[in-house]
Amino acid sequence: MTHADGAHADYICRRVVDALLREDVRECVSRSAVMPNAALPAALGKHAEPGDAWLRVSHFGDGCLWIPVARSFFMQDWRAAGSPLLWQADGQVRALYAVADILACFARGLPPAAAAPFDAFAGECQVAVEHRHVSETERERWFAEFRTLHGTAAGARLPNWHSRLLHYDRLGAFLDHPFYPTARAKLGFDADALAAYGPEFQRPFLLRWLAVPRALYHPSSRDEPGLSPLWPSFEAVGLPAVMADTHALVPVHPFVWAQQLDDLLDEAGLREVVRAPRPCLAVTPTLSVRTVVLLDAPEWHVKLPLTIRTLGAKNIRTIKPSTIHDGHRIQTLLADIAAREPSIAGRLLLTSEDCGGHVDNRMFLAYILRRYPVDALGESTLIPVAALLAQTPAGNTVAEEAAAQFYGGDLETFSNDYFDLTLRLHLLLWLRYGIALESNQQNSVVVLSREAPRLRLLLKDNDAARIHLDYLARRWPNLASHVAELQDRRIVVTDPLPLAQMFTTITLQLNIAVLTERFAAILGLPATALYSRIRLRIEAVLAELAADGEDIALARRLLLEDDRLYIKYLLIAATLAEKTETGATDVNKFYGRSAPNFLRAL
């Protein structure tokens, strides 16, 4: 193993141990004893370092696992303090440096079926190490190339909004997910596929096409008015023009085309589907991997199924046919709300997602065609929230670069504007309309302009919201009509708690708190100082809503008064446990309540 390989392995291992502690996997925190160095058994003393504490985990089989930890106040009480972990059994002490060895200890004492996911996760960790190594090598190469071509110029100086968006997408692809420890792993891609189709490399490629009998093809609109004018003809993909009378063209990602398509078609019994002989339509990947941008019409993005898994072994990146309709329904609902609310009117932008289709209800044969609101963008700069903390070729963060371009270098004012709009929008949706959006760091895009308003938000991919439909229908029946026929009934909830959980884990923790921690360090301020300002902002918005007659009691209690916040247990739900164990209908919405509340007044 090279020094670089070792550094990547250590980095992933540290993230994994942090996640195990954060999610209290196998009650490694709640059932353990905290031991100061002075209380360690003599056999372990040589591993102690000043200031460290240890968790003594004695319920994993016949031995004892010792985890070096340090106090934490963000998202968990204890975080990993370094390596090694120690396994003590049969009078022997073994130092654990490798993540596979640590996970093997976590699996001790479990029946084979329960232990198997830990072994599989060890494989995922190895993929994360390999993909991180490949990606970091590419980042170094690209940064050197960028500096040669552009010096230290900001990405905001690229010629148009779509080239800037792609630039910041690519920067964001090199930044790890804040909480899922092996987010770098795209399970199913080898190094060559990662280079060909990963957003870290952003290489162009051509889409492949299937001609599907119209009896099997289900478009979102019968006359398909939303299709991009660049959609190919049958002749362009090497098929007879006459087939247009009986078939529809459906795009397929070339990775699926080459790797699994034959087996998928055979398993589904779709023998009438015809492979087009020629690829057509040049695209390049965006931050979400399975969404690609049409290079000759960059306002159009195509979301395609990919038979890979990201953010967990259970997160296969197919497209449920229901999302094609549901995303559009929720988009129209949001557009109507924005039009009636002066505090967000003109500051919320939405992509159009009314066009798509699927083949015979198959999740691997579907697409969504997304259009960006070109007329409203003008010369704006678009930056995914997922990229704000990414490193730029100049060595600072994207947020600092954006502040330099649009706020005269004032990161504090930039962050204040962003936090204010984000909180105002999502608290309003939650408390007035009974809506919580899964507008995570990829789906939330900051739109910056030199004209007023200087900062706006663009939201996309809103097909996984939570909507208290009875509440919405009771108060706003006209608005509720947009979503009365949602196909994915998991979106519909019957009480306000799921809305609070979504707001807390997506808007507050991912889109605000993660940034706050880093912004505080950049500004030379304690994080508590910035959290105090965020608390004041929340209090102000809640007061406005209360004055308008909205019920803010639950929000005030959960966000500002309780000792603990809800937290997503991503690793448990998406990798280490079955739905039958967690009870979650969605692996991305399994919650615990173990995060220290950074907003609670001290």
* Strand partners of residue 78: 71
CA 170, 173, 178 angle in degrees (round to 5)?
Answer: 145
Tell me what the mean pLDDT of segment 500-527 comes to.
97
CB 449 within 8 A of CB 377: no
Q: Which residue has the higher pLDDT, 412 or 51?
A: 412
Half-sphere exposure of 382 (CA within 13 A, CB side): 31
Percent with pLDDT over 90 in the chain = 85
Instruction: Please write the tens of the pLDDT for every residue from 255-305.
Output: 999 989 999 999 999 999 999 999 999 999 999 999 999 999 999 999 999
Q: What is the pLDDT of residues 210-233, one digit of tens each?
A: 999 999 999 986 545 446 678 899
Residue identified by tokens 């795009």 is 251
239-259 pLDDT, tens digit per residue, is: 999 999 999 999 999 999 998
Q: Is 560 helix (H, G, I), strand (E, B) or coil?
A: helix
- Choose the weakest-confidence range: 353-367, 400-414, 422-436, 501-515: 353-367
Distance CA 12, CA 357 (A): 38
Distance CA 140, CA 118 (A): 33
| Dist CA 162 CA 286 (whole Å) | 11
Backbone angles phi, psi at 598, to 5 degrees: -70, -10
- Count CB atoms within 10 A of the CB of residue 274: 15
Q: Are 439 and 506 spatial neighbours (Cβ–Cβ below 8 Å)?
A: yes
What global pTM score does this model have? 0.96
- Segments making up each domain of the chain, as ranges: 3-113, 185-372, 379-596
Q: What is the amino acid identity at position 498?
A: P
| pLDDT tens for each residue of 460-511 | 999 899 999 999 999 999 999 999 999 998 999 999 999 999 999 999 999 9
Q: Running DSSP on this structure, what letter comes out for residue 503?
A: I
Residue 439's contacts (CB-CB under 8 Å, 6 or more residues apart) are 426, 459, 462, 506, 507, 511
List Cα–Cα distances, 297 to 160, 292, 334, in angstroms. 13, 11, 26
Mean pLDDT on 435-440? 96
DSSP bridge pairs for 212: 248
How confident is residue 154, by pLDDT bands cut at 50, 70 and 90? confident
Please give the distance of CA 99 from its chain centroid, rounded to a whole number: 24
Please tell me the CATH code under which domain 379-596 is placed. Answer: 1.10.510.40
Query: Does domain 3-113 bear CATH number 2.60.120?
Result: no
